[in-house]
Amino acid sequence: MSQDNGEQLDQQLLFEVIENQLADGYPLKVKATLMRLCMTGHSREDALELIACALAPEMFAVVEQQQEFNLPRYEAHLDLLPQTPWIEQD
């Protein structure tokens, strides 16, 4: 499997998790963030990509570092969207 396929699968997994969060209504902040982003001019697809940017560090921590999912940090990142300062760090 090429790196592109791996990245695509990872992205698909993120979107699947987000869609499940939306369907489950948990955490509530995911739906609120989606609505906020869409109301401020982002397409649903762009909004989901931004939410995936907030989810990715948490998924990495769980899968790669075997940490517990950090809901407060995830929600804090959702609050910052569309800005993503946690990604821009060097």
Exposed/middle/buried for residue 44 (C-beta within 10 Å: 0-12, 13-18, 19+): exposed
pLDDT tens, 14-61?
A: 999 999 999 999 999 999 999 999 999 999 999 999 999 999 999 988
Q: Please indicate whether residue 8 or residue 65 has the higher confidence score (pLDDT).
A: 65
pLDDT at residue 67 greater than cutoff 50? yes
pLDDT of residue 86: 84
Largest CA distance in the chain: 38
Q: pLDDT band at residue 10, thresholds of 50, 70 and 90?
A: confident
